[in-house]
Amino acid sequence: MLYYTYMVRCADQSLYTGWTLDVAKRVAAHNDGRGAKYTRSRRPVTLAWCQGFPTKHEAMHWEWQIKQWTRKKKEKLCREQLSVTDEEG
């Protein structure tokens, strides 16, 4: 089983980061208004980036880590579809 850290791009072009077991289901939940409070008023959202991890802990760690990054660094990750380990530092 893989756990995923993901970013969605909201209608206002902001980025939201989360973690899940099923990326497609989670993006659909965001678009149905059943996702995070942040995305409810910023629909529709589209998947901008995701990466799988072997443990929930790792996925949650990278969710937290990415949320600390600047928008510029997040955009680079999405644009170049990098692994988070490529972007470390």
- The pLDDT of residue 83 is 83
CA dihedral 13, 16, 20, 24 (to 10 degrees): -10
Bridge partners (DSSP) of residue 48 are none
pLDDT digits (tens, 9 = 90+) for 43-76: 999 999 999 999 999 999 999 999 999 999 999 9
pTM listed for this prediction? 0.92
Domain range annotation of the chain: 3-87
pLDDT digits (tens, 9 = 90+) for 12-35: 999 999 999 999 999 999 999 999
Please tell me the class of the 3-87 domain. alpha beta
One-letter identity of residue 84: V
Pick left, alpha or beta for residue 13 (phi over 0 → left; psi -120 to 50 → alpha; otherwise beta): left
